[in-house]
Structure 1
């Protein structure tokens, strides 16, 4: 039995708790930690957990009965809490974004390597059946060279969203929609296409003048082979429609799923290619359904790796790559220049202090409340 501690019992903790509770024969939640212990106690009662309540995660570091930890705190403390638990010999599943800077990512990776413990970064949307099927189709190479990818990370958040005490500041939230919403889609893009060589971006705060951070950004990635991708990150799009579209040499595929293929007439104009469409559709249909989706799927992957020593689908290295792309977007948008990758350790945007000193600030945070009464959130589409 793998004993689990949940650190941070805010809105996203529910997804972790429900994920672990789906595997009662494999794990047990034995501790809940929150700087507001009453909130942790209410969470434990709501889910009928027989768990101890703590206000300081450090009280668990020396507990031999704690085997693994889910970190669901605000982003600015992901790194120190993860590092402390890794050094204490605990496996760590940390919410996105992995950390506030690439320097912190590297420190987390070093702690995981030194302790020989697992570090997994939440990217639960990889564990969706349509996403897994799309990745499989891309891996077959049937669509040919990818020329262009379009990523729409569309979300909508009201003005009061940034009233929560840690949101809307570069220091505590670490960024706006690019970091905390589009992180899902940027992760999937780098998983499917690899890392680009250049990033050009712009960002703005269009509708939330109670936050320092952006509520809209648009970025273009350029790859070594000449391919381009464009990513729109937003919390101002009604409907929250989200999609990834890949235009290949021979066909177009996407989530939500759609396949379209053209071949050339003698004059270069398009001619439908139903044969290739049927072949790609068959490959898509034959790939098995995901047994456990979303957070539950990632927790299954995490528990399996803890128990059997297998590889994680999303480890710390994967989490760092995603953050490097987001950091490059912020650098490009803040300085008005194209950014070459990889980012070096002497880059001003490598450290948290450097980001805070150089990133574009939009407005001052106006309100600060400790907790919302409504704790129900949305965590992204199912891409169906």
Structure 2
């Protein structure tokens, strides 16, 4: 019974988040609402291990991440992925802006160790936060042990609504251009149809009768690509992050016809896996308490303000040289505050809320989602880990 109660509670938080997002037309993102519910819950009556009790344990999440990223590769093609080098540059330069401003101004306001402990989780995700936490413990700086995780908790909560505002502005700009340019509209419709036809023809690699194209068969193929991706990453000593290889190999497998378009949705398991991954991400909010947060809240808020200001300045200055709108450039930089899967959920929610039909939604998704995904990988999966490794030596 306790496992069922835990499961229903976790999913109820997801439902409330989705309903609020729908009611506000994605002005308040679902991930923001759900994060607040988990945070308040952990600080009041909800058990710290509720997500694990709900069946979303670490082994399950390890599987989720790899196969979801392979699945995302089935939503784009290799050419589209390679064209996103500008988004990578913008995201990384936005992180550079964070580093510069927080190091210059932050060290003037606070002591050296406080700033050094805060920057890696500010420029990335949970891995960077945990690396810095362990580093502080090893160095005997116990007064700051809670700072990295607390920074991780708060900066993502602030990042969700801010990114949503930028993406809504970009979506409205794109959809206005799409609606007023009937020629572009027609070209996109024809291109979208031709892509679907090409994908259908490419899926004849197995040429099996429909009754054999089962959900299990799709999941097995996605799993094979995920295993191959992680094996290649291990051969490279993780010089290239396994998550990036999963995405790239997913794109290649899709192009070759080994995986069908939108694979996990066709298998009927995409939403289940995404909810599990989100639940695990939100479970990290249990690592802090109101008392701990109260002691370091000023430092966190000031450093988050400096960090986001650095991203804003860098992306606003570099948007035009890289041929992007300022809103899109800033949104790419902001992926450093949360990464996958929040970047995927925020983007798809907003594209759905702004579009009036499936064709408009497809147009927005194709123009925004690849940039957000690669931006998140560049910052959270690569840059933040490198920054944390360097900053550990500076403690």
Question: Taking structure 2 as the reference length, what is the TM-score of the superposition?
Answer: 0.25
RCO comparison, higher one (Cα < 8 Å, 6+)? 2
Q: Which has the higher strand share?
A: 1
